[in-house]
A and B are shown apart, each in its own frame.
Chain A
Amino acid sequence: MMGKESSRPLLDTDLDDVVLEARLAKTWETPTGFWGIFATVDHKIIARRYLATAFVFLFLGGLLALAMRLQLSRPEARFIGPDRYNQIFTMHGTNMMFLFAVPVMEAVAIYLVPLMVGTRNIAFPRLNAYSYWVFLFGGILLWLSFALDTAPDVGWFAYVPLAGPQYSPGKRADLWAQMITFTEVAALAVAVEIVVTVFKQRAPGMSLDRIPVLVWAMLVMSFLVILAMPAIMFASSTLILDRLVGTQFYNPAKGGDALLWQHLFWFFGHPEVYIIFIPAVGMVSTILPTFVGRPLFGYLALVSALVATGILSFGLWVHHMFVVGLPRVGESFFTASSMAIALPAGVQIFCWLATLWAGRPVFKTPVLFVLGFIVTFVMGGLTGVMVASVPFDTQVHDTYFVVAHFHYVLVGGAVFPLLGAVYYWYPKICGRMMSERLGRWVFGLIFVGFHLTFFPMHILGLAGMPRRVYTYQPELPWAGLNLFVSLSSLILATGFLLFLIDALRSWRHGRPAGSNPWGASTLEWATTSPPPAYNFRRIPVVSSLTPLLDNDGELTVAAGLRTDRRELLITSVVEALPQSRESSPRNSIWPFLASIATSILFVWSIFSPWAVVWGAIPVALALIAWFWPKGSPEDES
């Protein structure tokens, strides 16, 4: 046997499990220590970092929200002055949208998509590592600016001319615009990886109609990112050009237009909220069937609704500009399209309701969050139908009614499913269960706290309270409701604090989980908890939508990949027939170094346009080193 092993490649076909696991671990593992931290390309490690970082940003943003509610609890309060308050609400929105909501959904995708499609690593793993560092440095840039009293203070949407060169002195708006560049580069990188992974790296037999709904959701999200992010990158780049170099994009006196900014921003901004919502839909569709004991109803309807939502989301953006003075006929088109998107959303809700009706739900914490999601998101969607109407919007645009609406759809529609997803997949990620008892408390406090905090805002908006105000007059009838809202926000904060405690405690002291504690049917539960570095001993082969429920739990696998170099299987787009073997890159320090060079370029360009020229040199060097063949076994294949 010795002679034969040395003369042919080490395939996984004939090896027994113990030897196979040892060889694969050696090939795929990330070493501990300094090198491992900065050079890993394992999608699970990077996704865990993304998740942890995004949740840190969530909590920081929540602290900002508590500061705002403190200031707004009494009329003409003097806790926070106008300059600091403007920085705080801008930071709150910017942080939540760019540093928490999109990255956390991408984190879930990075972790789960390769596992759910049955492959060993995500496509372009070094790009994945690079994107995390770029995201982290962008977030650090923004929060450092807040610590230094130069945080942007122009709102998360930075309308010109307020954010323009004349009315926004200093570097505040430039820091905002450049942070956008950081996060959009990271988001685009991840989106590209997900599209390629989903199209080309699926397990054999996982044809398009056997892809889990979560994976479809992440695929649609990725396409939205690819098509929408360029608009905001263009917008933020032209804003920096106007401010730094003196171009005239947004200067009406010289042929520019203040409305150009709004169109560009909202062309991105509306798909952005669907980038956040659609993955949550995928999570709900995955959690629900596990806990009701029957498969999801309406797979085709759900997937079609996802795709339809994604496509339609590009035709809605003017509903953010209904009071700008555009022609009424044009605005009415966007009323119709904004109302129309209620249909695919409604179809999804009805499919979930049908699944619940026909099944027998077990009320574990993830299901509680799904139920909370349905109740809250439907209300948010209905207020969305209200604000989609142009005349209705002329009374509630830029008031607390809209604040209530978007918190209902974003918190209800994305954060509730996300929290449920954390409870659901925590065993897979960390190997331990979270506390069911604490989970119920977390859900109860967050659900009650959320509704008590945000429902009165509908009333405040109709009663005339505008948005983005740091205080209000005592003679107006808003003081009582504002105090109520501020006190309720403490309940919401307590719920999140309990969640943090539960997550941290369970990491060390949670009940150990097996590979499939919930009895779920998707492929990530076919491997250990947490999964080994190589994900699966052998690539699974699927023949249905619920591979773990077929064959009495025995998983069919494909063999034939090498164990001495990193290899994964490429399959065709539609039928997932095996096509070729592909090398997956080894650990590399160059993504980290390239991200440092990129950050230097971006930060320097806030201060001087020459940074684009001189700062490109280190980036080019880093990229050359990144792609330079290193003679590793993967390069030879």
Chain B
Amino acid sequence: MTSAKSVKLAVGLAGICLFFIAVFIGWARQPRQFRVDPPIAAALEQFRLMPNAISGTPAEVYFAMGKPYESTAFDLSQGKRLYAWFGCSQCHGDGTGKTGPSFLDGWWLYGPSMVSIVASIRDGRPHGMPAFKDEMTIDEIWQLAGYVKSVGAYSTSSKAPSRNDDKTDRPAENRAPAAILFNEGPVLPRPDQGPSR
């Protein structure tokens, strides 16, 4: 075989190998999740919280799924829809806070972990955060929590949602401007907010 042919063969084989590796990775990646199996949904509900309901551990199944709600663009985007549908902006504005705390001041009243945020949404918090346990399913709550966490993110993520098709003035989540908007924290709308001792 001449050297030209062997080079062509090598290049061709490399290309085919590359394609099959990509197919394998694509197959191994989680496809977009539209439906959470009821047993998994039940398991997602079983996260364990520390006292004061600050932080804790998600269920094992969350790690088995690959922590999707924090890192999948689709779930973050669904979370953003839920933020609009369930009226979160009534108290939290577009993340900058109104009667409810801001997500953009670099300060998480109950800690930044996913489980805390999920607990806040599901069970409510003192001084006005309602419980959404009977308004959203648990996977929706996880999606919303993942989105809220991305609003307050400290660095750019290419997976965070981009700008809305509406009149928002806050820069989009995927530009990580949160750091720019960080005020001297914490800025509490009410002085007695925060975990009770």
Which A positions have Cβ atoms within 8 angstroms of B? 32-34, 36-37, 83, 140, 143-144, 146-150, 161, 164-167, 169-171, 242-246, 248, 250-254, 607-608
Contacts and interface: CB of A to CB of B under 8 A. Distances in A.
Contacts of B27: 149
Nearest to B170: A246
Contacts of A165: 161-165, 172
Given A166-B161, A170-B159, A246 B172 contact: yes
A37 B163 contact: no
Contact of B3 (A32, A146, A254, A607): A32
A169 B74 CA distance: 5
Interface string B5-31: 001100100010011001101110101
A267 to B, nearest CB: 23
Interface of B: 2-4, 7-8, 11, 15, 18-19, 22-23, 25-27, 29, 31-32, 34, 73-74, 76-78, 80, 156, 158-159, 161-167, 171-172, 174-175
Contacts of A246: 162-163, 171-172, 175
A166 B163 contact: yes
B163 A242 contact: yes
Nearest to B167: A253
A81 to B, nearest CB: 8
B7 A164 contact: no
Contacts of A32: 2-4
A250 B164 CA distance: 11
A166 B167 contact: no
B4 A144 contact: no
A149 B23 CA distance: 8
B113 to A, nearest CB: 24
A171 B23 contact: no
Contacts of A254: 166-167
Contacts of B76: 169
A166 B156 CA distance: 18
Contacts of A164: 165
Given A144-B18, A148-B29, A166-B164, 9 more contacts: A143-B19, A149-B29, A161-B165, A164-B165, A166-B80, A243-B162, A244-B174, A246-B172, A248-B163
Given A169-B77, A251-B163, A607-B158, A147 B7 contact: no
A607 B162 CA distance: 12
13 contacts: A36-B4, A143-B19, A147-B19, A147-B26, A149-B29, A165-B162, A165-B164, A165-B172, A170-B159, A242-B163, A244-B174, A252-B165, A253-B167
A251 B165 contact: yes
Q: Which 3 A-B pairs have the closest CB atoms?
A: A165-B162, A169-B77, A147-B22
Contact of B26 (A37, A148, A250, A252): A148
Contacts of B73: 169-171
Nearest to B15: A140
A143 B156 CA distance: 27
A608 B7 CA distance: 35
A137 to B, nearest CB: 11
A176 to B, nearest CB: 15
Contact of B25 (A148, A170, A244): A148
B3 A33 contact: yes
A248 B171 CA distance: 12
A124 B165 CA distance: 44
B23 A147 contact: yes
Nearest to B80: A166
Contact of A169 (B26, B31, B161, B175): B161
Nearest to B31: A149
A252 B164 CA distance: 11
Nearest to B171: A246
A245 B175 contact: yes
B162 to A, nearest CB: 3
Given A37-B7, A169-B74, A169-B76, A244 B26 contact: no
A262 to B, nearest CB: 16
Contacts of B74: 169-170
B115 to A, nearest CB: 24
A608 B167 contact: no
B4 to A, nearest CB: 4
A83 B32 contact: yes
Contacts of A36: 4
B156 to A, nearest CB: 8
Nearest to B164: A166
A595 to B, nearest CB: 15
Contacts of B172: 165, 246
